[in-house]
Amino acid sequence: MRRPLVVGNWKLNGSLAVNEARMQAIVGAEKDIHQIDIGLCLPYVYLFQAQQLLANTNIMWGSQNVSQFEQGAYTACVSADMVAEFGCQLAIVGHSERRHYSAENSAKAVIRIKRAVDAGITPIYCIGETQAEHAAGEAKKVLAAQLMALLDLDKISLEKIKSFGLVMAYEPVWAIGADQAATPELAQSMHAFIRDLLSKFDAEFAQKTRIIYGGSVTPENAKALFNMPDIDGGLVGRASLDAHAFSSICAAALNYQAPSN
Protein backbone atom coordinates (compact mmCIF):
# COMPACT_ATOMS: atom_id res chain seq x y z
CA MET A 1 0.00 0.00 0.00
CA ARG A 2 1.56 3.29 -1.06
CA ARG A 3 1.00 6.20 1.29
CA PRO A 4 -0.22 9.33 -0.50
CA LEU A 5 2.25 12.22 -0.61
CA VAL A 6 1.52 15.88 -1.29
CA VAL A 7 4.48 18.23 -1.60
CA GLY A 8 4.39 22.00 -2.01
CA ASN A 9 7.11 23.52 -4.16
CA TRP A 10 7.35 27.16 -3.13
CA LYS A 11 9.91 27.95 -5.87
CA LEU A 12 11.36 31.50 -5.69
CA ASN A 13 8.70 32.84 -3.36
CA GLY A 14 8.48 33.85 0.26
CA SER A 15 9.99 35.96 2.99
CA LEU A 16 10.53 35.19 6.66
CA ALA A 17 7.21 36.79 7.57
CA VAL A 18 5.19 35.28 4.74
CA ASN A 19 6.68 31.82 5.30
CA GLU A 20 5.96 31.90 9.00
CA ALA A 21 2.30 32.77 8.48
CA ARG A 22 1.92 30.18 5.73
CA MET A 23 3.66 27.39 7.61
CA GLN A 24 1.65 28.08 10.74
CA ALA A 25 -1.58 27.98 8.76
CA ILE A 26 -0.62 24.68 7.11
CA VAL A 27 0.50 23.12 10.40
CA GLY A 28 -2.77 24.21 12.00
CA ALA A 29 -4.88 22.76 9.20
CA GLU A 30 -2.97 19.48 9.01
CA LYS A 31 -2.22 18.80 12.66
CA ASP A 32 -4.63 15.88 12.95
CA ILE A 33 -3.77 14.37 9.56
CA HIS A 34 -1.67 11.23 9.86
CA GLN A 35 -2.86 9.12 6.95
CA ILE A 36 -0.85 10.91 4.28
CA ASP A 37 2.64 12.41 3.99
CA ILE A 38 2.91 16.15 3.46
CA GLY A 39 6.03 18.11 2.59
CA LEU A 40 7.10 21.65 1.76
CA CYS A 41 10.13 22.42 -0.41
CA LEU A 42 11.50 25.88 0.27
CA PRO A 43 14.39 28.01 -1.00
CA TYR A 44 17.63 26.97 0.70
CA VAL A 45 17.86 30.10 2.82
CA TYR A 46 14.57 29.30 4.53
CA LEU A 47 15.38 25.71 5.50
CA PHE A 48 16.52 26.77 8.96
CA GLN A 49 13.22 28.58 9.43
CA ALA A 50 11.34 25.47 8.27
CA GLN A 51 13.31 23.38 10.73
CA GLN A 52 12.32 25.74 13.54
CA LEU A 53 8.65 25.86 12.61
CA LEU A 54 8.00 22.34 11.34
CA ALA A 55 10.00 20.20 13.76
CA ASN A 56 7.58 18.13 15.89
CA THR A 57 4.76 18.59 13.38
CA ASN A 58 3.49 16.11 10.79
CA ILE A 59 4.87 18.25 7.92
CA MET A 60 8.21 17.34 6.32
CA TRP A 61 10.42 19.94 4.68
CA GLY A 62 12.92 19.79 1.88
CA SER A 63 15.03 21.65 -0.63
CA GLN A 64 14.26 22.37 -4.27
CA ASN A 65 17.54 20.88 -5.47
CA VAL A 66 20.91 19.62 -4.26
CA SER A 67 24.28 19.88 -5.95
CA GLN A 68 25.80 17.01 -7.88
CA PHE A 69 29.05 17.93 -6.11
CA GLU A 70 29.89 16.96 -2.56
CA GLN A 71 32.19 19.86 -1.66
CA GLY A 72 34.87 22.11 -3.06
CA ALA A 73 35.22 25.03 -5.45
CA TYR A 74 31.62 25.15 -6.70
CA THR A 75 30.42 28.67 -5.96
CA ALA A 76 26.74 28.93 -5.00
CA CYS A 77 26.21 25.18 -4.91
CA VAL A 78 24.54 23.59 -1.87
CA SER A 79 25.21 19.95 -1.09
CA ALA A 80 22.83 17.24 0.06
CA ASP A 81 24.84 16.87 3.27
CA MET A 82 24.33 20.58 3.96
CA VAL A 83 20.56 20.49 3.59
CA ALA A 84 20.44 17.28 5.64
CA GLU A 85 21.94 19.28 8.51
CA PHE A 86 18.76 21.37 8.43
CA GLY A 87 16.58 18.30 8.82
CA CYS A 88 15.46 18.02 5.20
CA GLN A 89 13.77 14.75 4.41
CA LEU A 90 13.00 15.62 0.79
CA ALA A 91 14.83 17.18 -2.15
CA ILE A 92 13.36 17.96 -5.54
CA VAL A 93 15.71 16.92 -8.34
CA GLY A 94 15.51 17.49 -12.08
CA HIS A 95 12.67 20.01 -12.00
CA SER A 96 11.87 21.27 -15.50
CA GLU A 97 12.60 24.85 -14.45
CA ARG A 98 16.13 23.76 -13.49
CA ARG A 99 16.43 21.90 -16.78
CA HIS A 100 15.20 24.94 -18.71
CA TYR A 101 16.88 27.87 -16.93
CA SER A 102 20.04 26.21 -15.66
CA ALA A 103 20.76 23.58 -18.29
CA GLU A 104 20.43 20.73 -15.84
CA ASN A 105 19.92 17.40 -17.49
CA SER A 106 19.09 13.85 -16.50
CA ALA A 107 22.77 12.88 -16.28
CA LYS A 108 23.26 15.52 -13.57
CA ALA A 109 19.91 14.77 -11.97
CA VAL A 110 20.74 11.12 -11.33
CA ILE A 111 23.98 12.09 -9.59
CA ARG A 112 21.94 14.49 -7.44
CA ILE A 113 19.59 11.61 -6.63
CA LYS A 114 22.58 9.59 -5.48
CA ARG A 115 23.85 12.52 -3.36
CA ALA A 116 20.45 12.93 -1.74
CA VAL A 117 20.12 9.25 -0.90
CA ASP A 118 23.68 9.15 0.46
CA ALA A 119 22.65 12.02 2.76
CA GLY A 120 19.51 10.17 3.90
CA ILE A 121 17.16 12.43 1.95
CA THR A 122 14.36 11.14 -0.29
CA PRO A 123 14.78 12.58 -3.79
CA ILE A 124 11.70 13.61 -5.75
CA TYR A 125 12.80 12.99 -9.32
CA CYS A 126 10.84 15.17 -11.77
CA ILE A 127 10.41 13.96 -15.31
CA GLY A 128 8.11 15.21 -18.04
CA GLU A 129 7.84 16.13 -21.66
CA THR A 130 7.65 19.62 -23.16
CA GLN A 131 4.74 20.88 -25.22
CA ALA A 132 6.65 20.24 -28.46
CA GLU A 133 7.55 16.69 -27.40
CA HIS A 134 3.96 16.10 -26.35
CA ALA A 135 2.64 17.36 -29.69
CA ALA A 136 5.13 15.19 -31.56
CA GLY A 137 3.90 12.08 -29.70
CA GLU A 138 7.27 11.65 -28.03
CA ALA A 139 6.23 11.89 -24.40
CA LYS A 140 6.91 8.27 -23.50
CA LYS A 141 10.26 8.29 -25.27
CA VAL A 142 11.28 11.38 -23.27
CA LEU A 143 10.12 9.89 -19.96
CA ALA A 144 11.96 6.66 -20.65
CA ALA A 145 15.21 8.50 -21.41
CA GLN A 146 14.91 10.64 -18.28
CA LEU A 147 14.15 7.71 -16.01
CA MET A 148 16.56 5.24 -17.53
CA ALA A 149 19.41 7.72 -16.97
CA LEU A 150 19.50 6.07 -13.53
CA LEU A 151 21.19 3.15 -15.25
CA ASP A 152 24.25 5.35 -15.79
CA LEU A 153 24.93 5.20 -12.05
CA ASP A 154 27.20 2.53 -10.69
CA LYS A 155 25.50 -0.67 -9.56
CA ILE A 156 26.05 -0.10 -5.84
CA SER A 157 24.48 3.38 -5.98
CA LEU A 158 21.52 2.08 -7.94
CA GLU A 159 20.93 -0.70 -5.43
CA LYS A 160 21.13 1.83 -2.61
CA ILE A 161 18.55 4.08 -4.29
CA LYS A 162 16.25 1.10 -4.83
CA SER A 163 16.38 0.07 -1.20
CA PHE A 164 16.26 3.59 0.29
CA GLY A 165 13.55 4.68 -2.11
CA LEU A 166 12.78 7.70 -4.21
CA VAL A 167 9.66 9.53 -5.29
CA MET A 168 8.93 10.02 -8.97
CA ALA A 169 7.08 13.15 -10.07
CA TYR A 170 5.44 13.16 -13.49
CA GLU A 171 5.36 16.82 -14.42
CA PRO A 172 4.35 17.47 -18.02
CA VAL A 173 6.11 20.76 -18.73
CA TRP A 174 3.13 22.03 -20.70
CA ALA A 175 0.92 21.73 -17.61
CA ILE A 176 3.25 23.53 -15.18
CA GLY A 177 2.12 27.06 -14.38
CA ALA A 178 -0.59 26.60 -16.99
CA ASP A 179 -4.34 27.09 -17.12
CA GLN A 180 -5.06 23.40 -17.02
CA ALA A 181 -3.62 20.20 -15.60
CA ALA A 182 -3.28 17.02 -17.62
CA THR A 183 -6.55 15.11 -17.58
CA PRO A 184 -6.67 12.38 -14.93
CA GLU A 185 -6.85 9.77 -17.71
CA LEU A 186 -3.78 11.07 -19.51
CA ALA A 187 -1.83 11.48 -16.27
CA GLN A 188 -2.83 7.95 -15.20
CA SER A 189 -1.60 6.47 -18.47
CA MET A 190 1.78 8.21 -18.06
CA HIS A 191 2.05 7.16 -14.42
CA ALA A 192 1.29 3.56 -15.39
CA PHE A 193 3.98 3.82 -18.05
CA ILE A 194 6.47 5.16 -15.47
CA ARG A 195 5.60 2.32 -13.10
CA ASP A 196 6.16 -0.13 -15.90
CA LEU A 197 9.58 1.44 -16.52
CA LEU A 198 10.37 1.14 -12.80
CA SER A 199 9.53 -2.56 -12.95
CA LYS A 200 12.48 -2.97 -15.31
CA PHE A 201 14.63 -2.20 -12.27
CA ASP A 202 12.66 -4.45 -9.92
CA ALA A 203 8.99 -5.40 -9.55
CA GLU A 204 8.84 -4.65 -5.83
CA PHE A 205 10.60 -1.30 -6.32
CA ALA A 206 7.99 -0.40 -8.96
CA GLN A 207 5.10 -1.22 -6.62
CA LYS A 208 6.46 0.62 -3.61
CA THR A 209 7.61 3.78 -5.44
CA ARG A 210 5.24 6.70 -5.17
CA ILE A 211 4.61 8.51 -8.44
CA ILE A 212 3.12 11.92 -7.81
CA TYR A 213 1.64 14.25 -10.40
CA GLY A 214 2.64 17.90 -10.85
CA GLY A 215 1.28 20.55 -13.17
CA SER A 216 -1.52 22.95 -12.24
CA VAL A 217 -2.95 20.85 -9.42
CA THR A 218 -5.74 22.80 -7.73
CA PRO A 219 -8.34 22.06 -5.04
CA GLU A 220 -10.82 21.59 -7.89
CA ASN A 221 -8.94 18.96 -9.90
CA ALA A 222 -6.93 17.21 -7.16
CA LYS A 223 -9.49 14.57 -6.23
CA ALA A 224 -10.01 13.28 -9.75
CA LEU A 225 -6.25 13.10 -10.28
CA PHE A 226 -5.50 11.41 -6.95
CA ASN A 227 -8.28 8.87 -7.44
CA MET A 228 -6.35 7.34 -10.32
CA PRO A 229 -4.68 4.07 -9.31
CA ASP A 230 -1.11 5.06 -10.20
CA ILE A 231 -1.27 8.70 -9.04
CA ASP A 232 0.03 8.66 -5.48
CA GLY A 233 -0.32 12.35 -4.69
CA GLY A 234 0.88 15.66 -6.04
CA LEU A 235 3.74 18.08 -6.43
CA VAL A 236 2.05 21.45 -6.13
CA GLY A 237 3.49 24.80 -7.22
CA ARG A 238 1.21 27.84 -7.22
CA ALA A 239 -1.57 26.36 -5.12
CA SER A 240 0.92 25.56 -2.34
CA LEU A 241 1.46 29.29 -1.79
CA ASP A 242 -2.07 29.50 -0.44
CA ALA A 243 -2.38 27.56 2.81
CA HIS A 244 -6.11 27.03 2.35
CA ALA A 245 -5.78 25.75 -1.22
CA PHE A 246 -2.86 23.52 -0.25
CA SER A 247 -4.82 22.04 2.65
CA SER A 248 -7.76 21.32 0.34
CA ILE A 249 -5.40 19.48 -1.99
CA CYS A 250 -4.07 17.46 0.96
CA ALA A 251 -7.66 16.62 1.89
CA ALA A 252 -8.22 15.28 -1.64
CA ALA A 253 -5.29 12.88 -1.09
CA LEU A 254 -6.79 11.73 2.20
CA ASN A 255 -9.58 9.88 0.47
CA TYR A 256 -7.29 8.25 -1.99
CA GLN A 257 -7.37 4.46 -2.06
CA ALA A 258 -4.10 3.13 -3.37
CA PRO A 259 -4.27 -0.43 -4.63
CA SER A 260 -2.55 -3.04 -2.52
CA ASN A 261 -0.55 -5.57 -4.41
Whether 78 and 57 have beta carbons less than 8 Å apart is answered as no
216 binds ligand PEP (CB under 6 A): yes
- The size of the interface with ligand PEP (CB under 6 A), counted in residues, is 13
Among 129, 134, 171, 191, which one carries the catalytic annotation?
Answer: 171
8 binds ligand PEP (CB under 6 A): no
Dist CA 195 CA 200 (whole Å):
9
Q: Does the annotation mark 95 as catalytic?
A: yes
Give residue 72's identity as a one-letter amino acid code: G
Length of the chain: 261
Among 95, 97, 133, 191, which one carries the catalytic annotation?
Answer: 95
Whether 9 and 39 have beta carbons less than 8 Å apart is answered as no
41 binds ligand PEP (CB under 6 A): no
Question: In the complex, what is the shortest distance from the CB of residue 245 to ligand PEP, in angstroms, rounded to a whole number?
Answer: 10
Among 6, 9, 22, 53, binds ligand PEP (CB under 6 A): 9
Q: Which stretch binds ligand PEP (CB under 6 A): 70-78, 113-121, 152-160, 208-216?
A: 208-216
Handedness of CA 132, 137, 143, 148 (dihedral sign): negative
Burial grade of 130 (CB within 10 A; 0-12, 13-18, 19 or more): middle
Dist CA 65 CA 148 (whole Å):
20
128 binds ligand PEP (CB under 6 A): no
Among 177, 200, 229, 254, binds ligand PEP (CB under 6 A): 177
Nearer to ligand PEP, 104 or 171 (CB): 171
Whether 117 and 161 have beta carbons less than 8 Å apart is answered as yes
139 binds ligand PEP (CB under 6 A): no
Among 161, 217, 228, 231, binds ligand PEP (CB under 6 A): 217
User: In terms of DSSP bridges, do strands 37-42 and 210-214 run parallel, antiparallel, or are they unpaired?
Assistant: unpaired
Among 62, 123, 128, 214, binds ligand PEP (CB under 6 A): 214
Give residue 216's identity as a one-letter amino acid code: S
Catalytic residue numbers? 95, 171
Which positions touch ligand PEP (CB under 6 A)? 9, 171, 176-177, 214-217, 235-239
